[in-house]
């Protein structure tokens, strides 16, 4: 309805400079929201279903009698609850999300639309293969793109995320050694590696040994040489590595690794820096996972789902897990099981992997094409170097020279300010930005790892750098409270993680158990 | 290039600030031998119109569930997902955010995860649940690893009712973890057999209800036997909706529940992404894999949520972590939570009742067909039948007639030699007309 | 990436009570956003199109040479720009939106999904009728629902909003009079009527005369009687009226109107209060528009699009505009043109009306059904009366007794507080609510019209009432600054509407004209 | 009922607070004679599954543009809408907000409207634009009413190139406003004729480019003639994309531009909702219909936007208002603005060029067919052709063959007796293969 304002003052008369606290705790558009357990009714439902015309009397004592304890909300309440919650999140669609090693890039909506086509979303993994030829063709196309971009002869699509891909790769490596009756015990991993690398190696039954790093932030060849031996199953590297640097000696590393009878696993989480410009196969890699949710833009979704296909060398290809797609005269076939006598290490999970992510990643690759993907790498690297150049004057970088897709700083420049990396990050939140990755990689003290990605415009990067520089000046000027108390302008102030861990409260519990009338 | 904001001018200006003569200079660390001189051999960039034409063309080559009678189950179920669920999970703030490591600006995701954990714990009848696993099968494999850590015993007993692809996934991890797997022969009432196999070496028994043949059973006695022997009972559930009608694993003594959550809020997606539900007892929580969201307070004393107990996780504990999992199934978990919130206790029970009712009609219709034997004694929404012909052959024939008749057991486990067994599921989307059409076509094929 | 917090304080140490202003004007998640004209590049585009293979040389001097002046953004920038803007809006999905007379109810997403099915969204209004039988059947179904719910024999679907429906109704009335060679001059409208009523009457060429209102907030029968005469073309009422009251004497009013040879037009904007419970036909109505974007939940979309189908009595049906759908042996037919000799007043607009809204409204009606729609009216009326009861103790209501779907208050209770209705409304914004409709209807001083609708849960209404009561107490306690300065917590402080009107700035203009290289 | 949050307990408790014995008491003002005792004769409530089945069933009975070659235009054009446009307009904050009457919490909508007005002004080459009208045809009718207010003259001249349904819409309003309409005979080069009809009584001439036959023409001389006679020139544009290639109405002397904006950002939707673009000269703005968004500052001096000059509008001026319009086409205008922002100057020019190129191929292909005469001399993306058979008959035949061949002129204006004239449009979605298919089938039908 209309607002009659004629002749009425619409300009605030008394300008009160500090906002009076509201009476009900309201904060304008920002809504505080209780848990569904505090809102919902035990009888309420937001789904209309017809009464069944047969009961469950045949199930006798198998029937669940006691209340389950699930609150329900009508549709309007449900929508409002989750819309309110959503507004308490930062997102790539809101501003720069410079988490180093995470490749938070734009997520095209075209991909969301295509993944939801009934022909992709409403098909069952086990319906007759004659009725899913388009899906199998799509998987085959994705495999072709991944193999061509990496130069590798084979790919296992089914791993469900990067860590799952690491698992897949190391399982293939272990199977390869076992096939030769060669039970190796150690896997070499740099200290700078992401936590999933050592965790995966240990999961696969290997002892993890750390490789030293040079002053230039790369693998120390001599140390690697010294550690290589007949019981080393694999060397696990990340390239570009987690310091944002390219492992110059990769080809040499591969040669020595192979000479020792070991395989070279490459963590491909940072593939965005080189996609379309460098093929891992040309670096001597035996296995590499690709986080489709990083390089190929499938949304992170607040923590997944992702997808981690693994490309494999000739040597490892025979050990790839089922299922796989092959093309014959009568169309595409999906092999659910490794045939008799195959060397495949078996199966990683039920069904055929993250189909929904495949569609998105393929749509992204086709949109960019061979030319665009190389441009992606170039712009990602350029953006990172621009950040490094703009901030380098104030912040201290542990390693000189150009970086690849991410710029790494340490906290030496904060010495004596009383401001820790964490405080600095929280203050960035007040300025409207998501902090960079902190305290990783472990090889750098108080690390701050900044990855803008290629989908950030120069203007946004400048806005970010201006904010960082302004905060840096404040820190050096001794304006410590701004940092220690931060954030002040976020939906919540700083959260007490220590208390959360001391006595974990991991679920809602009713004051007294809900009295539910089981119907 | 529509996704790339930098203009030629931007690049030029930025290179100047960087102090690099050209973009190539930034890649000098790459050995010449590995630097591509020309674009890789793939198509050049395409506009939305072309990409959409190409992929919609492939999608059109698949037969979607809505196109006719459809009875596939076997671990993935075709349920209705309310339109508001898919709308909400596409909100930028949920879709394009990262794992909530900065809780002050991630309360949306964190509170939803806390609600998810609470719902999963209630649904499974367990004390605590984690923030999701990749899917049900990997959750089951992790559960076995966890039982191995908890009991320090070398053997896992897998029931003959366990989904064969779940058993395969478990075997893969067990092998490298040095855990022996006692895998029982596929059997409609597989759970009945496991007790005998439990011994002092047993870390866990893995049982499923409803099992892969659709059989619903009371696992209480198995739990007692396992506990008596110092082993854990891991209960696998592949049809989460069944928990709206059937006794919960918790009520039957489960120590760990590994379930597939796809049925709530998530589409079939040809097998993924799905969402693994992982629930256990409070006292085992520090041995659990995956992320956990916990309640705390902020500097002003306001309630808030954070990821917690991360000392179990790879990014802190590295090679001593309880699992290597990092990215999980966040958005699928959100879809699960939103759908479950819409359903609530009342809606979930109603939904489960409707599924069971339709399955009973399905079973009756099939039992009435000459030569068809219904094998599943007590079921929720899925049954196994024995056919006078190889199930795979029958299914192909019916597909030709426009009916997707279910999953031949041979597709899951050729080595089980149950080629004449067909698995069929019914849900709230299965109409009486669908069942009639199936019966008609099946009778025709078998006649 | 992971945040390594072990052994580091995550709890803010120094709790600074008042937030220090940020250095870059950041406000946490709330992003300030420039105009696209300040962000975009003249060469930038977020759409990839292949070069045409024929040029436009054949058009010679018809070709646009000079720069157009349209900035472009890449897709990531565009998405971010509009997502940021969106977060500066209030919405029904965020909280109660109690705008009286606007019926801001829940907008089901099922309706959005169905309206986007290619079979509805990707069909052309003029493609062969044999290829759009489903669309015509849908329009026929919608017409059936509307006619049944109102008890009227005919409906014109094509009006594009409520005001357009009023236009359609009055045009039919004028045509009916003209058909009898009876050129009438006046239309009687209550002072409480919505502005579109007199505006429409005048648009159709009638003199508008106001009808007096009784102390009970209804039409003054005696005054109406006095004004009725041979030159009165129509009486335009709203029922329930804009005071939220049912016109008790409607049947009598209709009788006298008809006796005077005039027609009774009913503004159906408030149909939500009686849908499924009262049929306007039974009240003697000749024409009534229905705002599908109010009663039948199609989204308001920040100001449209809506749809305003008009139901017509036997007397007016012959004058209905083209097009209309009819059902024959060979399916449905759409009559684009009134046949020779038809009395139809012609055509209101091109094509066949707001198809996209029809789908949404029909989906909504089918979801509720006959039973649910009556419940809608009951809950809408109950919610409004609950608000009136909870606030009635403090705020003054000009009219006693039960209300229908909305509760009307005046500003008498604010006398002497120095707080005006507008100030009060702005303070509500700080508390997290959208204000009620203000200064309408005009018959009440400082009117505050509150319409919660049936889709508000009791808890939300209580939260709202608590906020209103708390503010009322503050106003009476003399806490004036909180009102005069309000809002403090919204994206912007109070805006200067007077300046905006004094020298209108209605579009962006470059400081100096953009130098665009026309390509 | 999924959309109704009140529970029976809520209703009971609320009635108590209200002090009403039952819900019926709240309806006592309704005369008994008018109170329904039973539900109306319509189906009872349905769940999402049933509603979706029913309506998806109806949708499936329509042939959508993507299903084959498609050439309909005549005021509604099938263009590609980038996926991000539809995603953004579905955001709760845009979709479910009301007209921005509380600017402090509506800056999202208001700033977008300001951007819209600025884009429309630039696109049409005019000084100012409003915040949208219902569609192009109602915008044209309002333009004539406005010219009548501005000039106080009683006559409007409508060119023979004006879309007949636009002319009908104008005539309806003109009739009740006492404005005489001089409607010229439909003609491919209709604009050429109007000058002769301008006289001292003339309030405005209404011309269209490209006109309904696709003819693009230079209107400068018409503007000069109109202005010389003290009349206004109203330019109608039904294909907004044409403004990316053709001279703007502003450049040719238009006083008011009434255009259909559907082509940018909006789907065909069987004819609605669309979005009317309305632009004019600064000095006429106080006579303009519809909402206007203007720039101002807030109490802290920050820039912000508000609805302004509302003294023209019905809610303030009531029976003296410039128009009765209230709700307009806000969300369609937003879609227009987002799509236009994605396109930008470069993208729009490219898009227009591609449309024109495809239309030239279409014209060439048709001209090559025996018995087909291309009537349109200079066109943008649409042409009129004369066929040796009634166009309606031909179109039905081709539809049978899977080709939607365009709009028979008789569909727009039976009385024009141009039954052998067919209008065909090509856009960026028209492929060379589509054109080839059309040519083949058409030759077949005419052979
Ligand atoms: C360097 C690196 N390796 C591995 C991973 C693990 O990938 P995912 O989270 O997909 O399992 C990540 C992502 O966090 C990473 O940054
Ligand atoms: C009582 C009343 N009548 C008429 C209208 C006009 O309807 P619309 O905005 O759809 O043109 C409205 C809506 O604002 C209204 O509240």
Contact D306 C161 (CB under 8 A): no
pLDDT tens-place string over residues A332-389: 999 999 988 999 999 999 999 999 999 999 999 999 999 999 999 999 999 999 999 9
pLDDT tens-place string over residues A421-460: 999 999 999 999 999 999 999 999 999 999 999 999 999 9
For residue C341, the surrounding DSSP H or E stretch is none
Scored b (16 or more CB within 10 A) or e, B10-20 reads bbeebbeebeb
Q: Which of A236, A238, A269, A299 to mutate to test the pocket of ligand 1 (most atoms within 8 A of CB)?
A: A269
Contact between residue C54 and residue D245 where contact means Cβ atoms under 8 Å apart = no
Which chain C residue has its CA at the smallest distance from A501's CA?
A: C6
Which chain D residue has its CA at the smallest distance from A45's CA?
A: D2
Q: For residue B319, report the distance from its CA to the centre of ligand 1, in Å.
A: 15
Give the number of other CB atoms < 10 A from CB of residue A479: 16
Q: For residue C244, which ligand has an atom nearest its CA?
A: 2
Closest CA to A391 of A274, A289, A472, A273: A472
pLDDT at A17: 53
On chain D, the residues whose CB falls within 8 A of the CB of A48 are 1-2, 45-48
Closest CA to A238 of A247, A229, A251, A225: A247
Judge whether residue A516 has pLDDT over 50.
Answer: no
Tell the residue nearest (CA) to atom 10 of ligand 1: A162
pLDDT tens-place string over residues D276-288: 999 999 999 999 9
d(CA A185, CA C214): 95
On chain D, the residues whose CB falls within 8 A of the CB of C113 are 52
d(CA D423, CA D383): 6
Q: For residue A270, report the distance from its CA to the centre of ligand 1, in Å.
A: 9
On chain C, the residues whose CB falls within 8 A of the CB of B315 are 1-2, 4
Which chain C residue has its CA at the smallest distance from A103's CA?
A: C1
Judge whether residue A2 has pLDDT over 60.
Answer: no
Judge whether residue D441 has pLDDT over 90.
Answer: yes
Q: Which of A167, A201, A291, A302 to mutate to test the pocket of ligand 1 (most atoms within 8 A of CB)?
A: A291
pLDDT tens-place string over residues C311-357: 999 999 999 999 999 998 889 999 999 988 999 999 999 999 999 99
d(CA C383, CA C457): 9
Contact between residue C44 and residue D344 where contact means Cβ atoms under 8 Å apart = yes
Q: For residue A314, report the distance from its CA to the centre of ligand 1, in Å.
A: 25
CB B326 near ligand 1, within 6 Å:
yes
Q: For residue C306, which ligand has an atom nearest its CA?
A: 2
pLDDT at D316: 84
Complex prediction ipTM = 0.97
Average pLDDT of chain D, as a whole number: 97
On chain C, the residues whose CB falls within 8 A of the CB of D285 are 504, 506
CB A291 near ligand 1, within 6 Å:
yes
pTM of the prediction? Answer: 0.97
**Chain A CB within 8 Å of residue C485 CB:** yes
pLDDT tens-place string over residues D355-392: 999 999 999 999 999 999 999 999 999 999 999 999 99
Top residue of D7, D68, D87 to mutate, by most chain B CBs within 10 Å, is: D87
d(CA B8, CA C44): 10
Nearest CA of chain A to the CA of B18: how many Å?
A: 5
Scored b (16 or more CB within 10 A) or e, B345-354 reads bbbbbbbbbb
Which chain D residue has its CA at the smallest distance from A80's CA?
A: D92
d(CA A507, CA B117): 6
Mean pLDDT calculated for residue range B345-350: 97
Contact C39 A491 (CB under 8 A): no
pLDDT tens-place string over residues C378-393: 999 999 999 999 999 9
CB A194 near ligand 1, within 6 Å:
yes
CB A161 near ligand 1, within 6 Å:
yes
Judge whether residue A16 has pLDDT over 70.
Answer: no
* Strand-by-strand arrangement of the C407-409 sheet: C407-409, C448-450, C437-438
Q: Which residues contact D148 (CB under 8 A, 6 or more apart)?
A: D154, D156, D177, D179, D203, D204
Low-confidence ranges of chain C (pLDDT < 50): 1-16, 514, 516-519
CB C446 near ligand 2, within 6 Å:
no
Can you read off the two tokens belonging to residue C117? Answer: 């099915």
Which chain D residue has its CA at the smallest distance from A87's CA?
A: D93
Q: For residue D134, which ligand has an atom nearest its CA?
A: 2
D-contacting residues of B 62-81, CB under 8 Å?
A: 66, 80
Judge whether residue D82 has pLDDT over 50.
Answer: yes
| Least confident piece of the model among A52-61, A253-262, B364-373, C377-386 | A52-61
Which of C15, C48, C109 is opposite residue B2, by nearest beta carbon?
A: C48
Nearest CA of chain D to the CA of A247: how many Å?
A: 38
pLDDT at C9: 45
Give the model's confidence band at B145: pLDDT under 50 very low, under 70 low, under 90 confident, else very high: very high
| Least confident piece of the model among A30-44, B432-446, C268-282, D130-144 | A30-44
Q: For residue C372, report the distance from its CA to the centre of ligand 2, in Å.
A: 24
Q: For residue D418, report the distance from its CA to the centre of ligand 1, in Å.
A: 68
HSE at residue D147, side-chain half, CA atoms within 13 A, is: 38
Judge whether residue A505 has pLDDT over 80.
Answer: yes
Q: Is B129 helix (H, G, I), strand (E, B) or coil?
A: strand
Contact between residue C208 and residue C166 where contact means Cβ atoms under 8 Å apart = no
| Least confident piece of the model among B157-166, B253-262, D185-194 | D185-194
Q: Which of B315, B326, B330, B331 to mutate to test the pocket of ligand 1 (most atoms within 8 A of CB)?
A: B326
Q: For residue A273, which ligand has an atom nearest its CA?
A: 1
Which chain D residue has its CA at the smallest distance from A84's CA?
A: D92
Give the number of other CB atoms < 10 A from CB of residue D201: 15
On chain C, the residues whose CB falls within 8 A of the CB of B101 are 1-3
Contact between residue A494 and residue A426 where contact means Cβ atoms under 8 Å apart = yes
Contact D429 B83 (CB under 8 A): no
* Helical packing angle, B391-400 and B432-446, nearest 10°: 120
Mean pLDDT calculated for residue range D77-98: 98
Judge whether residue A35 has pLDDT over 50.
Answer: yes
Judge whether residue B206 has pLDDT over 70.
Answer: yes
Contact between residue A340 and residue B161 where contact means Cβ atoms under 8 Å apart = no
pLDDT at A26: 87
Contact D47 A15 (CB under 8 A): no
pLDDT at A512: 52
Judge whether residue A517 has pLDDT over 50.
Answer: no
Percent of chain B with pLDDT over 90: 96
d(CA A379, CA D316): 54
Mean pLDDT calculated for residue range D122-133: 98
Judge whether residue B56 has pLDDT over 50.
Answer: yes
Sign, CA dihedral B94-B96-B101-B103, equals negative
On chain A, the residues whose CB falls within 8 A of the CB of D299 are 11-12, 15
Q: How far is CA A491 from CA A27, A163, A432, in A?
A: 9, 32, 12
Which of B48, B49, B82 is opposite residue D48, by nearest beta carbon?
A: B82
Nearest CA of chain B to the CA of C513: how many Å?
A: 20
Q: For residue C253, report the distance from its CA to the centre of ligand 2, in Å.
A: 22
Q: Which residues contact D109 (CB under 8 A, 6 or more apart)?
A: C89, C302, C303, D94, D97, D100, D330, D334
Subunits with 3+ Cβ pairs within 8 Å of A are B, C, D
Q: How many CB pairs under 8 A join A and D?
A: 60
For residue B106, the surrounding DSSP H or E stretch is none
d(CA B247, CA B239): 13
CB A276 near ligand 1, within 6 Å:
no
Give the model's confidence band at B375: pLDDT under 50 very low, under 70 low, under 90 confident, else very high: very high
pLDDT at D239: 98
pLDDT at C512: 52
Q: For residue A440, report the distance from its CA to the centre of ligand 1, in Å.
A: 12
Q: For residue C92, report the distance from its CA to the centre of ligand 1, in Å.
A: 39
Ligand 1 closest atom vs CA A193? 1
CB A309 near ligand 1, within 6 Å:
no
């Amino acid at each position: 309805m209309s607002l009659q304002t004629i002749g009425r003052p619409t300009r605030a008369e008394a300008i009160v400079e500090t906002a009076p606290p509201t009476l009900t705790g309201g904060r304008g558009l920002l809504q505080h929201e209780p848990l569904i357990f505090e809102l919902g009714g035990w009888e309420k439902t937001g789904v209309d279903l017809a009464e069944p015309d047969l009961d469950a009397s045949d199930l006798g004592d198998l029937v669940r009698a006691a209340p389950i304890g699930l609150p329900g909300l009508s549709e309007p309440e449900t929508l409002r609850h989750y819309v309110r919650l959503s507004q308490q999140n930062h997102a790539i669609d809101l501003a720069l999300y410079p988490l180093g090693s995470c490749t938070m890039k734009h997520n095209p909506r075209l991909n969301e639309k295509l993944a939801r086509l009934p022909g992709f979303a409403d098909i069952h993994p086990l319906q007759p293969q004659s009725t899913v030829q388009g899906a199998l063709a799509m998987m085959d196309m994705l495999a072709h793109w991944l193999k061509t971009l990496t130069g590798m002869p084979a790919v296992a699509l089914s791993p469900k995320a990067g860590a799952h891909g690491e698992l897949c790769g190391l399982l293939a490596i272990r199977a390869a050694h076992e096939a030769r009756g060669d039970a190796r015990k150690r896997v070499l991993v740099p200290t700078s590696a992401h936590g999933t690398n050592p965790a995966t190696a240990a999961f696969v039954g290997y002892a993890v040994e750390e490789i030293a790093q040079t002053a230039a932030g790369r693998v120390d060849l001599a140390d690697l040489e010294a550690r290589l031996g007949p019981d080393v199953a694999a060397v696990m590297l990340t390239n570009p590595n987690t310091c944002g640097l390219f492992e110059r000696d990769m080809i040499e590393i591969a040669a020595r690794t192979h000479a020792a009878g070991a395989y070279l696993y490459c963590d491909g989480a940072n593939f965005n820096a080189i996609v379309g410009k460098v093929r891992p196969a040309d670096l001597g890699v035996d296995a590499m996972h690709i986080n489709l949710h990083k390089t190929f833009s499938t949304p992170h979704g607040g923590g997944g789902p992702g997808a981690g296909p693994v490309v494999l060398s000739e040597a490892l290809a025979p050990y790839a897990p089922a299922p796989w797609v092959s093309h014959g005269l009568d169309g595409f076939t999906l092999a659910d099981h490794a045939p008799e006598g195959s060397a495949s290490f078996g199966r990683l999970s039920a069904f055929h992997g993250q189909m929904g992510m495949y569609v998105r990643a393929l749509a992204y690759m086709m949109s960019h094409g061979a030319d665009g993907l190389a441009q992606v790498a170039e712009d990602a690297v350029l953006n990172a170097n621009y950040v490094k150049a703009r901030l380098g004057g104030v912040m201290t970088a542990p390693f000189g020279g150009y970086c690849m897709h991410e710029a790494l700083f340490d906290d030496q420049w904060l010495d004596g300010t009383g401001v820790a990396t964490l405080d600095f990050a929280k203050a960035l939140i007040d300025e409207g930005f998501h902090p960079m990755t902190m305290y990783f990689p472990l090889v750098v003290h108080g690390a701050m790892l900044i990855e803008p990605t290629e989908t950030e415009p120069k203007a946004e990067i400048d806005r970010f750098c201006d904010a960082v520089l302004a905060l840096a000046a404040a820190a050096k000027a001794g304006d410590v409270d701004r940092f220690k108390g931060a954030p002040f302008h976020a939906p919540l102030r700083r959260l007490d993680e220590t208390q959360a861990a001391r006595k974990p409260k991991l679920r809602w519990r009713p004051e007294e158990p809900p009295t539910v009338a089981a119907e | 290039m529509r996704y790339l904001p930098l203009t030629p001018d931007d690049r030029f200006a930025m290179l100047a600030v960087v102090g690099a003569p050209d973009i190539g200079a930034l890649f000098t660390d790459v050995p010449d031998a590995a630097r591509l001189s020309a674009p890789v051999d793939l198509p050049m960039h395409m506009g939305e119109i072309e990409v959409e034409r190409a992929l919609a063309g492939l999608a059109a080559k698949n037969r979607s569930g809505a196109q006719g009678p459809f009875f596939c189950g076997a671990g993935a179920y075709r349920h209705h997902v309310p339109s508001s669920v898919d709308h909400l999970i596409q909100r930028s703030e949920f879709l394009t955010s990262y794992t909530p490591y900065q809780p002050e600006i991630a309360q949306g995701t964190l509170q939803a995860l806390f609600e998810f954990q609470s719902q999963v714990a209630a649904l499974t009848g367990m004390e605590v649940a984690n923030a999701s696993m990749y899917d049900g099968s990997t959750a089951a494999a992790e559960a076995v690893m966890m039982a191995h850590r908890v009991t320090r015993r070398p053997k896992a007993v897998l029931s003959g009712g366990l989904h064969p692809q779940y058993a395969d996934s478990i075997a893969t991890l067990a092998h490298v973890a040095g855990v022996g797997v006692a895998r029982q022969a596929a059997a409609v009432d597989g759970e009945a057999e496991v007790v005998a196999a439990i011994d002092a070496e047993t870390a866990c028994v893995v049982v499923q209800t409803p099992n892969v043949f659709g059989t619903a059973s009371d696992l209480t006695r198995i739990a007692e036997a396992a506990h008596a022997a110092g082993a854990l009972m891991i209960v696998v559930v592949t049809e989460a909706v069944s928990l709206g009608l059937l006794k919960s694993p918790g009520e039957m003594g489960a120590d760990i529940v590994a379930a597939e959550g796809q049925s709530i809020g998530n589409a079939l997606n040809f097998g993924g992404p799905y969402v693994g539900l992982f629930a256990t007892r409070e006292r085992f929580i520090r041995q659990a894999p995956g992320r956990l969201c916990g309640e705390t307070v902020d500097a002003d004393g306001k309630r808030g949520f954070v990821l917690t107990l991360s000392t179990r996780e790879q990014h802190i504990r590295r090679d001593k972590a309880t699992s290597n999992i990092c990215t999980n199934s966040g958005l699928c978990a959100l879809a699960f939570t939103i759908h479950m919130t819409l359903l609530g206790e009342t809606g979930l029970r109603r939904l489960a009742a409707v599924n069971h009712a339709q399955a009973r009609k399905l079973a009756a219709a099939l039992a009435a067909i000459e030569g068809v034997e219904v094998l599943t004694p007590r079921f929720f929404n899925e049954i196994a039948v024995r056919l006078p012909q190889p199930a795979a052959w029958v299914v192909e024939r019916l597909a030709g007639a426009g009916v997707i008749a279910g999953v031949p057991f041979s597709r899951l486990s050729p080595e089980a030699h149950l080629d004449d067994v067909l698995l069929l599921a019914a849900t709230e989307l299965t109409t009486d007309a669908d069942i009639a059409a199936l019966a008609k076509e099946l009778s025709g094929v078998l006649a």
